[in-house]
Amino acid sequence: MSDFSLLQNAGELPDAGNMRFGIIVTEWNRPITDALLKGALDALKACGVSESSISVRRVPGSFELVYGCSRMAQHGYTDAIIALGCVIRGDTPHFDYICSGTTEGLVHLNLEGKIPVINGVLTVNTEEQALERANRMNKGAEFAITAVKMVAYAHSFD
């Protein structure tokens, strides 16, 4: 097992060998979302998830994550979905609209209760902040571990 001791949520990890995950990742801010994706994939594999049980799909921007997750949830193949994106504050109010629209959409999907949808969208002021979170803080792994724990939680009601 890899060392996740620096992460906020590592704790005791359930065996994820029988779990299937979807990851939807944005093309916007790709250097950052690629790093998040790598962290998430490495963490899922370290938790025992096989490559064939992980489905990765791309959408243009964070705003499209909601539709991307919704379609994947309908498909029924995965036990949880991890939405990976990065919104960087600019000079216009667009940042606030994208952040609130995306967050509300992901909340809505979780309230539907079909499967857990993990909010892996970084909302930052600068690209430096984003790179710090995606690389040194390994937020992608943190999001993946959250997904593993939520699937175990969901299965506890089966």
Active site residues: 94
Nearest to 82 by CA among 38, 31, 131: 38
Say which DSSP state 57 is in. E
CB of 55 closer than 8 Å to CB of 90: no
Least Å from the CB of residue 87 to ligand DLZ: 4
- The residue within the footprint of ligand DLZ, chosen from 30, 57, 71, 94 (CB under 6 A), is 94
Q: Whose CB is nearest to ligand DLZ?
A: 61
Q: Residue 17 interacts with ligand DLZ (CB under 6 A)?
A: no
- The residue within the footprint of ligand DLZ, chosen from 90, 112, 126, 153 (CB under 6 A), is 90
Q: Residue 123 interacts with ligand DLZ (CB under 6 A)?
A: no
14: which 2 tokens? 């359930």
* SS3 label, residue 153: helix
CB of 85 closer than 8 Å to CB of 57: no
150: which 2 tokens? 């939520």
Least Å from the CB of residue 98 to ligand DLZ: 5
- The residue within the footprint of ligand DLZ, chosen from 88, 99, 137, 152 (CB under 6 A), is 88
Q: Residue 26 interacts with ligand DLZ (CB under 6 A)?
A: yes
Nearest to 39 by CA among 12, 15, 6: 6
Contact residues toward ligand DLZ (CB under 6 A) are 26, 28-29, 60-64, 85-88, 90, 94, 98
